[in-house]
Amino acid sequence: MDDRHFMNMALDLAAKGHGFTSPNPMVGAVVVKDDRVVGRGYHKIAGGPHAEVNALEVAGEFAKGATLYVTLEPCNHTGRTPPCTLKILELGVARVVAAMKDPNPKVAGNGAEFLKQNGVQVTTGVCEAQAQQLNEAFVKYVLTGRPFVMAKCAATLDGRIATRTGDSRWVTGETARRYVHQLRHRTDAIMVGINTIRNDDPSLTTRLPGFQGSDPTRVILDTHLTISPDARVLKQASAAPTILVAGIHVAGNKKTAIEKAGARVIEVALKNDLIDMNLLMEQLGAMELTSLLIEGGSRVLASAFNHAVVDKVFFFYAPKIMGGDDGVPICSGPSAELMEECIGIRDIAVHRLGDDVLIEGYVEVG
């Protein structure tokens, strides 16, 4: 069997860490000797043992002379856990195959080079594209200090996310909504505007039947702190925090009242009377939030696109037609004057979710 076969096994293992490893990457590892898998492991939770250690401990004495397949270059520095390279040498692994190098420019290649210097054969770049995509949020965060930003909407075929009365329950069906909760589980933070809180009073939690998912940090754009003290997001029995994003110099008494309710308030400068999204991304990154899912509403989505902070889109379309122009559009406010000025989306993937269709893709840069 070739290297790609075993690396795909490691990638499948790595994906089990979705929603549990941030701010660390998802990593999977497989130990192979004489074409037989003798150890498997993945990084289960931030602060816990790394994938290589878990797989090698399963392999035990069979690790000597074996090949270790791992989706990310083994670490050669001490963080919350000891360097994985030392464990690899200790157990006598003969060869290491890594899907991708560590994206952190301060440590990229260090682990591979250390292993080579100590007699271990090292191969990198096997299934690299798949590994990069699996950890796309981690890669961006390590390189920029800012979260990987995804924009999500659920719309009718004629591009409306709510009726003229504000009714949006439900645009899409149960299968699509369950997929959104999977996205929430995999994402560090979720963001909406205050109008979404007023109109829908959402919980902004992860609800997956039969699975204990992770709740994302709830981020609410509320320039003047007008949120109701009875809003559900201020009363969640959830370990994830709620953050209210206000403009600079917001009234102190409003800030105090919200903080007494258990939420956090951060102040961000305004740009064109809206929260400056770029400054906000810097602050969220400083909180070790590596990924952000923007769920609306239309002004928030428009602002995110106009500030060029969105990396990826998840647009769900239901087989419904509003039949007029007074419903709530996906984005609101001034738009492009010419088609050539529109924001392009590349690497499109289309999925059928029940009767609904999901269009997934990446925002073109430049």
- Catalytically annotated residues: 52
What are the distances in angstroms from CA 343 to CA 18, 140, 330?
A: 29, 20, 14
Please state, in angstroms and rounded to a whole number, the distance separating the CA atoms of residues 158 and 11: 38
Least Cα distance to 272 among 199, 344, 198, 334 occurs for: 334
Element (H, E) at 3: helix 3-15
Whether the Cβ atoms of residue 314 and residue 187 lie closer than 8 Å to each other: no
Strand-pairing partners, residue 30, are: 40, 69
Please state, in angstroms and rounded to a whole number, the distance separating the CA atoms of residues 9 and 70: 10
Task: Give the three-state DSSP class for 156.
Answer: coil
Please state, in angstroms and rounded to a whole number, the distance separating the CA atoms of residues 331 and 31: 49
Place of tokens 């003229």: 164
| Beta carbons within 8 Å of 235's beta carbon, 6+ residues apart | 261
What are the distances in angstroms from CA 235 to CA 45, 62, 73, 222, 245?
A: 27, 52, 42, 17, 17
Query: CA angle, 71 as apex, 68 and 73 as ends, to 5°?
Result: 80
